[in-house]
Amino acid sequence: MPDQYERAPDAEEALKVAWESSPVAYVSTWTSPVLIIQGDDDRNVRISESTDLVQRLQEKGVPMETLMIVDDTHHWMKWSNAVKVGNATADYFERKLLKK
């Protein structure tokens, strides 16, 4: 029963800050193209959170691309993956954000 435990005095504020820190909170106003990169062993951001964001952005018609990094974490522990992410990001910026 939830009422058996003491609630932190700032619990409501913490929930508000968590929501406002989430990209999902801003999907309704999102128009910019986005590249979403996720490590499949990420312990900071659940894959389900990225999947949810992708689905919400797709429903809104926001232009996006995704890249899944296999066997790596949130911080790209493998040098080859850090290079892959850097190159993918630079390529995305060139294709989507630079005026030609």
Q: What is the CA radius of gyration of the chain?
A: 17
Domain positions in the chain are 35-100
Distances (CA, A) of 90 to 25, 35, 39, 52, 85: 27, 11, 18, 25, 9
Per-residue pLDDT for the chain (100 aa), expressed as one digit of tens each? 566 678 889 999 999 999 999 999 999 999 999 999 999 999 999 999 999 999 999 999 999 999 999 999 999 999 999 999 999 999 999 999 888 7
The torsion angles phi and psi of 14, rounded to 5 degrees, stand at -65, -40
Determine the longest span between alpha carbons in the chain, in angstroms. Answer: 62
